[in-house]
């Protein structure tokens, strides 16, 4: 296999193939967040030298001192990676020392809910002056189909770097699932598409060092679309079940009972759970990357956008349920003390990106409520664009629980003592269906 690859690639890329084959390759990971850091640690784990790049000096200093800023990654893991050759830096001139550049930076939406590629572009522009022939660039950030060919490739050309000739360019979407005990970085099959067949071969050879299964597709566009389909599939189905929840609530039907019953069908049904809205960096954002690009082709993606509207509405639905529940007890939202349980976007993790809990807090506070939160995974409210809460997590003691007019379960962490909550809370609004219905428990 080595010789087959070697003879099929241009001379300037043969040295790269050799370094990959003999495991002397140096990998640069650009963006050391929930995606980039686990990938960097995985390459280090299998003996590959890794340089991690991040513009956040605090992250760089923590990593180089053997500390971690992600709950599920222990300091011991960071320290072990350092002994295996992992180091972090904010100095992009060190790009000239890496053989592969893997870009794992955010792709948010702007104020108009349109794609914001500034993190990708800024990263490439910062690295570009130090790039040279014989390097491989891989984009992992979720984006619209065509980004790799239309945004990255032309910038490489400016440096006389031609994918497939004297450099390699691939797209291989991240598939991290924080908190999943069954699938880590190495276990999740890696979809990958190359600008040319040579690029694809080299990209697969690189990732195969750290990840068990490769899933090659015909182009970078196909790989980009694959990631969008994965997340739009979830967005649409969650939108459906959230709408069903609203209908069932009006009819006095427990939607969770219905879902459990439907899930007994051994074919043709996949259970999705409703909630207070979508969270995480992918599902609330990624569908809009496709709807934006589809307009270039004269296509209106009504189905996708409708699901987005429903999911975006859910925090407002929850706030309405809180207001109704307080009103039934002779209280107004204004002046009420409300405790949000769970700040992370899903249970048992510390990731608060796009968490609907934050939107619920903001909506309730705007109506005059006094807001606190409790989350064992998020001790201090993190810095967030557009939200300003100077808060620390409240300990769930008996007096603290009884001190609030309403508790809102936004995230069903296993670390919460639900029996204690039910015993001492005056009112609980449960958005996750994790508590049995009692006189003081309202489903939302």
Res 9: pLDDT? 80
Over its C-alpha atoms, the chain yields an Rg (Å, rounded) of 24
CB burial readout 362-371, b (16+ within 10 A) else e: bbbeebebeb
Collapse the DSSP code of 428 into the 3-class scheme (helix H, G, I; strand E, B; otherwise coil) and give the result.
strand
> In sequence order, which residues have a C-beta less than 8 Å from that of residue 55 and are 6 or more positions away?
90
Backbone torsions φ then ψ of 337, nearest 5 degrees: -95, 120
Listed residue (286, 201, 182) closest to 236, CA to CA: 286
Q: What are the Cα distances from residue 94, in Å, to 26, 43, 98, 384, 403? A: 11, 18, 7, 30, 54
Q: Which residues are catalytic?
A: 282
Domains of the chain: 2-218 (3.40.50.720), 256-443 (3.40.50.720)
Per-residue pLDDT of the chain (444 residues; tens, 9 = 90+): 444 454 568 888 999 999 999 999 999 999 999 999 999 999 999 999 999 999 999 999 999 999 999 999 999 999 999 999 999 999 999 999 999 999 999 999 988 889 999 999 999 999 999 999 999 999 999 999 999 999 999 999 999 999 999 999 999 999 988 888 888 899 999 999 999 999 999 999 999 999 999 999 999 999 999 999 999 999 999 999 999 999 999 999 999 999 999 999 999 999 999 999 999 888 899 999 999 999 999 999 999 999 999 999 999 999 999 999 999 999 999 999 999 999 999 999 999 999 999 999 999 999 999 999 999 999 999 988 788 899 999 999 999 999 999 999 999 999 999 999 999 999 999 999 999 888 899 999
Q: How many whole angstroms separate alpha carbon 408 and alpha carbon 427?
A: 9
């Amino acid at each position: 296999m080595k010789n087959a690859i070697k003879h099929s690639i241009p001379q300037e890329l043969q040295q790269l193939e050799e370094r990959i084959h003999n495991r002397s390759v140096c990998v640069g990971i650009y963006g050391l967040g929930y995606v980039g850091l686990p990938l960097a640690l995985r390459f280090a784990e299998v003996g590959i030298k890794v340089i991690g790049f991040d513009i956040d000096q605090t992250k760089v200093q923590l990593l180089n001192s053997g500390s971690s800023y992600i709950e599920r990654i222990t300091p011991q893991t960071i320290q072990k990676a350092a002994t295996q050759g992992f180091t972090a830096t904010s100095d992009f001139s060190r790009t000239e020392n890496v053989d592969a550049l893997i870009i794992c930076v955010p792709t948010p939406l702007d104020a108009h809910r349109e794609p914001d590629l500034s993190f990708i572009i800024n990263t490439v522009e910062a690295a570009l002056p130090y790039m040279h022939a014989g390097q491989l660039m891989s984009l992992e950030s979720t984006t619209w189909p065509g980004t790799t060919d239309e945004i990255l490739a032309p910038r490489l050309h400016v440096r006389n770097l031609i994918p497939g000739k004297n450099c390699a360019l691939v797209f291989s979407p991240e598939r991290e699932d924080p908190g999943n005990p069954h699938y880590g970085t190495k276990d999740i099959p890696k979809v990958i598409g190359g600008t040319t067949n040579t690029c694809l071969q080299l990209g697969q050879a690189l990732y195969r060092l750290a990840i068990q299964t490769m899933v090659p597709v015909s182009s970078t566009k196909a790989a980009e679309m694959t990631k969008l389909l994965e997340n739009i599939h979830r967005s649409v189905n969650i939108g459906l079940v959230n709408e069903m929840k609203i209908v069932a609530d009006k009819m006095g039907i427990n939607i969770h009972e219905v879902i459990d019953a439907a899930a007994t069908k051994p074919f043709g049904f996949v259970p999705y759970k409703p909630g207070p809205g979508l969270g995480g960096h992918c599902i609330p954002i990624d569908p809009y990357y496709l709807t934006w690009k589809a307009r270039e082709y004269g296509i209106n993606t009504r189905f996708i956008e409708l699901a987005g509207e429903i999911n975006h509405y859910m925090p407002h639905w929850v706030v309405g349920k809180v207001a109704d529940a307080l009103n039934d007890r002779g209280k107004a939202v204004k002046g009420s003390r409300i405790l949000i349980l769970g700040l992370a976007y899903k249970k048992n993790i510390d990731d608060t990106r796009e968490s609907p809990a934050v939107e619920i807090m903001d909506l309730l506070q705007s109506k005059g409520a006094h807001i606190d939160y409790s989350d064992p995974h998020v001790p201090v409210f993190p810095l967030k664009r557009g939200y300003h809460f100077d808060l620390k997590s409240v300990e769930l003691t008996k007096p603290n629980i009884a001190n609030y007019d309403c508790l809102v379960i936004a995230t069903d962490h296993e670390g919460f003592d639900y029996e204690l909550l039910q015993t001492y809370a005056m009112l609980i609004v449960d958005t996750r269906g994790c508590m049995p219905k009692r006189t003081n428990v309202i489903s939302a």
